[in-house]
Every structure is written in C-alpha cells, then in structure tokens.
Amino acid sequence: MKKRVPTYIITGFLGSGKTTVLQHLLNYCRENKLKPAIVINEIGETNVEEHLFKDDHVLEMLNGCICCSIQSDFTKELHTFITSLSDNAVPDIILIEGTGIANPIEIVDALTDPLLIDKIDLFSVINVIDGSKYLEYQSIFSSTREVRSILKSQISISSFIILNKMDLINHKYTDKTRRKVEELKKGNTPVIETSYGEVNIQEMLEKRVQIHRSHDKMNLLSSRKCGCNHNHTCDQHAKVHHNHSFQAIKIDINRPIDRIDFEKWLKKLPKTMVRGKGIVNLTETAGLFQFQYSSNQLNMMRVKEDLNTEPCLILIGVDLDSKAIEKSFYEKFIKKERLT
Ligand SMILES: Nc1nc2c(ncn2[C@@H]2O[C@H](COP(=O)(O)OP(=O)(O)OP(=O)(O)O)[C@@H](O)[C@H]2O)c(=O)[nH]1
C-alpha cells in the first residue's frame, strides 16, 4: 500500500453515539463509492454490534482498550491489517472507533508510530458527546475523577465535536452544556449540536486536525494528559501501560426475558453502571433483538437470526460487583422462570 490513507478517530464516552455516527459515515462512503476500513475496539470480550459491519473490512480489537492495555498490539495489528489488503481492497479512508473510555491521545500516539506513519494520514479526531449526560459526568458530585478526566482528554484533543442527544434535553440544560464544552475545547474546534449523530458528513471529513507532521509525536506528547488517576507523569505513562478502573461484565442469557422487567432491572443497577448492550430473546415476541442501554434509555432493535453472537448481556461501569449483578439477574430472570 503506497498512499497514506486519511484516517479518522471517533472518540466519545460510553453510549455517546459513536457507532451511530460511524453508521452515517459508512452510508456516506457507500453513496460516494469510497472504500472504508474500520477498526472497532471494545472493552468487553464480545462485539455485539458485529452485524452492523458485516459488509465492510473490519479489524476488531476486543477485550481491552487500544489506548492502554493493547496499544502496542494495535500498532502491529493495524499495520498487518492494512498491508495485507489486496490492491483492490486498499481503503480510501480508515475509521477508528475507540472504546468509550479511550484517551484519544494514546491512539494518536499509536498511529504516529514509525511503523504506521507512512501508511496513515491522521486527518481528524471526532468527539461525540452525550449532551444529555455531560453535566452529570462533569460534576464532582455525581461523577468520578476518572470519568471527568476521560471526558477532558477526549474534548481537548478533538478537531470536531458533535454534541449529540440534544433531543433528550431542554433549552436551559443545553445552554449550560454548551458553555461547559466551550470551556474545555481547543479554540476554533467546531461544535455541532445534533441528535442521532446527524451531521454534515462532508464538512466533518474536511476538518483537519491541527498537527504538524514532522513534529507529530513531540507536539502530542507535550500536550498529553492521560485519563487515568495514577500517580505518574504523562511521559512515564507512555512507557507504563495503565488499566482503567472500568470493567465489562458479560452474562450469557439462555432463555427469553421480559422486556419491561429487564428495563426495570437495568434501571435499578448501581449508577456506576453506565452502559449496557447485548443480544436477547424476548418473551413477548419471537426473534433476536440487539439492545442498547445508555442515557437511562433502553432501545431494542430486531436483528437477523444468523448472528455469530449468542444472546448475552454486557454491562460496563466502575466498581461493579459482578457476582452480585449476576446473582440478581439469575434470580430475576432465570430462577423465576424455572419456578413458574
Ligand atoms: N435519544 C437519543 N438516542 C441516541 C442518540 N444518538 C444515539 N442514540 C442511541 O444511544 C445508544 C448508544 O449509541 P451508540 O452509537 O451505540 O453509542 P456508542 O458511543 O457507540 O456507545 P459505546 O459502545 O458504549 O461506546 C443507541 O441506542 C443509539 O440509538 C440521540 O441523539 N438521541
């Protein structure tokens, strides 16, 4: 592969709408006959959204965050991935969706590795913000230092900001959220307010990140602020891979569940559980459903039966007592079923 491929990082906290924006980007690529290559990173061991990308070239990196625990693997795997593509599959654009807890500066760092620098033309870091949760996540009363730090690192490096989920908030909240985002972002970074990631894709793709190539690494490292709370400088951080305190719990579900009970159960989980997703069978109707739980909302979408993924539930958060959550799920949906 001779040309440097324009590459975009899509960053943003858990459930903010990154995959939704990625879907719009892929539609744009289809309409404009562009060949995309996609890198998907998940904290958990399973990608329950695999079916969304079945016609595309996808590099899946599961069970860790490319910004930290699997950063060196990422550089090598991405290199292998793009160099192994046949000539007619060489991508016109690479789209990288980080995990919701990724510090994008670490991904930028991996992309500017000598192994990739001649292959990748890092164009932009797009940050999707959940407008309905932003103030809560930034509040010292309802959030943690780690979450605030992740949000800050994601906003401060971005070259294009999508303030999403505006349908869920009122004007007063919108004004306050807008002001807070303005405080953290780099000077002239555009902030587009929207719902369901509906942005002008062309405008978004044209906005180039402000990085001078010959100093890529130096400039980025000098401005790096990591998302973790560890007691080290960020230069040390380049050498010491950290782990987030976020965890993903996976529960296999081998029987249909009641949608309303499921929603009630999710809403009663500790507030530190910020994101849920998975594949389920429902009692009320036949077929498989993909569910998404974010911003306190549960969405279900019917999916085809020929999925590779078995029904399962993935919960992401901090300080989750996995045993207690599994027990509670079992008692609510499995044991109860057996008794009836
Ligand atoms: N109400 C509302 N829901 C939205 C909006 N954008 C996305 N969603 C829904 O929010 C849920 C999460 O969206 P995703 O695009 O999967 O979010 P993500 O950032 O990829 O999530 P992670 O996988 O946790 O990183 C889905 O059910 C979306 O349909 C929006 O603007 N308004």
Supply the ipTM of this predicted assembly.
Answer: 0.99
Instruction: Quote the ligand 1 centre to 295 CA distance (angstroms).
Output: 8
Structural domain boundaries in the chain: 5-208, 244-335
pLDDT of residue 246: 86
Residue 338 confidence (pLDDT)? 55
pLDDT attached to residue 69 = 64
Return per-residue pLDDT of the chain as tens, 340 residues. Answer: 567 899 999 999 999 999 999 999 999 999 999 999 999 988 877 888 878 887 778 888 887 777 776 667 888 888 998 888 777 778 999 999 999 888 888 888 888 888 888 899 999 999 999 999 999 999 888 888 999 999 999 998 899 999 999 999 999 999 999 999 999 998 889 999 999 999 999 999 987 765 544 334 434 333 333 343 333 333 333 333 345 678 889 999 989 999 999 999 999 999 899 999 999 999 999 989 999 999 999 999 998 777 777 899 999 998 899 999 999 999 999 876 555 5
Q: To which CATH superfamily is domain 244-335 assigned? A: CobW-like, C-terminal domain (3.30.1220.10)
Residue pair 85/35 in contact by the 8 Å Cβ criterion: no
Work out which ligand 1 atom sits closest to the CA atom of 100: 25
Nearest residue by C-alpha to atom 32 in ligand 1: 165
Ligand 1 centroid–CA 21 distance in Å is 9
CATH superfamily of 5-208: P-loop containing nucleotide triphosphate hydrolases (3.40.50.300)
Residue 153: name the closest of 102, 97, 95, 193 by CA: 102
Atom of ligand 1 nearest to the CA of 295: 10
CA of 17 to the centre of ligand 1 (A): 4
**Atom of ligand 1 at shortest range from CA of 20:** 15
- Atom 2, ligand 1: residue with shortest CA distance: 165
289, 292, 303: which to mutate for ligand 1, most atoms within 8 A of CB?
A: 292
How many Å lie between the centroid of ligand 1 and the Cα of residue 194? 12
Pocket, ligand 1, Cβ cutoff 6 A: 12, 14-20, 100, 164-165, 167-168, 195-197, 275, 292, 294, 299
Write the residue with the smallest CA distance to atom 21 of ligand 1: 15
Ligand 1 mean position to 19 CA, how many Å?
7
